Amino acid sequence: MKLRYRYPILVLLAVAGILVAVFAQSGGYTPGEFQSTNPNYPKPNPFYFEGKIDWNLLGITTPQNAWEYLQRGMHFQDDMNDIPDAINDYQTALSMNSLQSKTCKVVTMADLVMINGKLTVPAQITPAPCMFTLRLRLGFLMRATSPSTAIGLFQEVLQIDPQRLGVNTLIAETWVIEAQQATDPPTQQQDYANAIAAFQAELALSPVTQQSMALTGDTANNSKVHWELAQVYEATGQNNLAKSELQAYVSATKWHSDVYPWRIALANSQIQALAKVK
């Protein structure tokens, strides 16, 4: 062997020796692999993940089930501003998670089971639980073009969770759209009446109580609902009620202002104007 090859070979042998010694010392290392399943893809247990997951993290090529269609629909709507494709996906999802075709169910106490002395929900429910995000999203997009369909979807959400905040407001707002689209006065009056009932149902979900006042200092809440309800009362000529709602709106904004803060000044001005109306 020529001398010029000796040095590198000796070094290689030395390195190999070091490696052997190191591995012997450590007892042998085995590779640790990051979890094989996608940590961003939630497997229902039994409820679906209600919310939006970044589409690029889901690893879905073609949606295979209602939840995947919902996720792609949200991606179309929020990230691509592609409303027609979003509606298509939501409708496909709904066809796979439908109360009417019994491909989903509203979970009730009857579905609960006792495990370790505790009433809980089993990991699997057949058919799968109905999703509320899907119905809210699709309903919201259909408010102007098909208000009655939208209201139906929102009412299904109330079947799933009667205490969910904001759903009654969506129903009320959609009745207002119906009223504005109505051509005959009786229908319009009924639509407004339905809107008023829905707004009041929303208010009933977060009542102002002695306890809430003591904890927060708020004498009113839900400023948005009071504002919108006042507009309905005004549109239907119920001025005293309109004034009362505007006053509740002003009270509710006392410690919270509004996203449209000018409405507070406007409400005060309208209260004064309404006070003058006999």
Partner 1 sequence: MRVPVFTPAVCISALCLLGCGTQVHSVPNPPVVSFKPQAFQPPENCLPCHQRQFDELRSAVKSGYRNVSPLFNGLESAGNLVNGGLLRPVYKDSTVVLPDGTLLNTNMYTSPVLTETRQVQAGFCFTCHNANIEVLGDSDLTKREVPQLAGLGTCNPAPPAGQQCFQPQLFRPLRDYVMVDANGNQILPLAPGGDPPTGAMPSLAAAGITCDYCHDENGPDLNRSFQMDGFGNTSLLLNQTDLKVGPFLHPVAVKNNFHVASNDPDKIAFLRAGAFCNTCHDVRVPNRNLVAEEHNMNPGGENVSYFRLENLSTEWQIGPYNSTSNPFGQIVRCQDCHMSLFPYAGTTTYQVGDMTVTSPTPGMFATDYAAVPGVATDQNAPLQQRKVVEHYFTGVDVPLLTPTELSARLGPNYPDPYAAGTDTHGVPDGLATRRADLMKAAARLSLSKSDTTAQIGQKFTVRLEAVSLTGHRLPAGFSQERTVYVQLAVTDNNGFLLYQSGYVVDKPHPNTGENMPDGNLDDEDLEHLHAVVDPGMHTATYTAGTATNGGNNLVFEAGPDDGPDARIFVGAQEGLVLFRNELTQIFLPGQPIGHIDPVTGKSVMAKGVHFEETFQAALANAVDNFRSLQPLHPQTYSYEIQLPTQQQLQAMGVTLQGPLHVHAQINFEHFPPLFMRFIAGVTSANGPSGNNLNLVDEHRIDSLLKNVQNIASDDVTASLTP
Pick between residue 84 and residue 215 the one whose CB is nearest to partner 1.
Answer: 215
Which one, of 160, 199, 170, lies nearest residue 48 by Cα?
Answer: 160
Give the 3-state secondary structure of residue 60. coil
Select from 130, 125, 131, 81 the least CA-distant residue to 104: 130
CA 186 – CA 172 distance, rounded (Å): 17
Is residue 253 part of the contact set for partner 1 (CB under 8 A)? yes
Shortest gap between Cβ of 210 and partner 1 (angstroms)? 7
30 touches partner 1 (CB under 8 A): yes
Whether residue 106 contacts residue 28, with contact meaning beta carbons closer than 8 Å, is answered with: no
Nearest to partner 1 of 22, 95 (CB atom): 22
Residue with tokens 């409405």: 263
100-105-107-111 Cα dihedral, nearest 10 degrees = 130
Pull the structure tokens for residue 78: 């929020």
Cα separations (Å) of 107 from 44, 50, 96, 118, 189? 14, 15, 17, 17, 35
Reported as type and span, the H/E element at residue 105 is: strand 104-105
If the CB atoms of residues 7 and 237 are measured against partner 1, the closer one turns out to be 7
132 touches partner 1 by CB under 8 A: yes
Touching partner 1, residues 37-96 (CB under 8 A) = 39-40, 42-54, 56-57, 74, 77-79, 86
Give the chain's length: 278
- Which residue of 192, 194, 198, 224 would you call a contact of partner 1, by CB under 8 A? 224
Where helices occur in 143-238 by DSSP H, the ranges are 147-160, 167-181, 185-205, 210-216, 223-235
Q: Which is nearer to partner 1, 137 or 243 (CB)?
A: 137
Nearest distance from residue 187's CB to partner 1, in Å? 26
> In angstroms, what is the minimal distance from the CB of 184 to partner 1?
27
Hey, which residues between 152 and 211 contact partner 1 (CB under 8 A)?
159-166, 170, 206-207, 209-211
Q: What residues from 102 to 131 belong to the interface with partner 1 (CB under 8 A)?
A: 106-109, 112, 116, 119-121, 123, 129
Closest approach, Cβ 215 to partner 1, in A, equals 5
Q: Which of 114, 215, 237, 278 binds partner 1 (CB under 8 A)?
A: 215
Size of the residue set binding partner 1 (CB under 8 A): 96
- Considering only 18-26, 91-99, 191-199, 230-238, which stretch makes contact with partner 1 by CB under 8 A? 18-26
Tokens 């290392």 -> residue: 29
CA distances from 57 to 11, 38, 49, 54 (A): 46, 8, 15, 6
What is the smallest separation between the CB atom of 190 and partner 1, expressed in angstroms? 25
